Amino acid sequence: MEDLCSDLYALMEERYSVRLNYLPPYREYRWLRERFFTQLREALGPDFAEKLREALDGGARLEAEAAFAWGLRLGLALERL
């Protein structure tokens, strides 16, 4: 089941992530994130900033996959009602 959820999430991300890039809230989020990482890179060095970016990206992806799986399960449960 976990592999199926991961595959569905990857398909959904591939299909809809392009649209997200053009939404104003997502653009603002990306701008703030880049500003934060620029300040972090200047203060603590590029190596630390990149390692932190990778860790945050990995954590965000896991959280998004978990939320997607939870929503998928909820949708399937509502179908049964």
Which pLDDT tens digit goes with each residue over 26-65?
888 888 988 998 998 999 999 998 899 899 888 888 888 8
Q: Quote the pTM value.
A: 0.62
Residue type, 77: A
d(CA 55, CA 48): 11
Look at residue 18 in the predicted model and tell me its pLDDT: 63
| Helix residue ranges, H only, the chain | 2-20, 24-44, 46-80
Summarised one tens digit per residue, pLDDT across range 5-15 is: 777 777 777 77
Look at residue 1 in the predicted model and tell me its pLDDT: 61
Residue type, 27: R
Tokens at 46, concatenated: 């590029």
Tokens at 44, concatenated: 């603590």
Q: Work out how many domains the chain is built from and give that number.
A: 1
32 is in which domain, residue-wise?
2-80
Residue type, 59: G
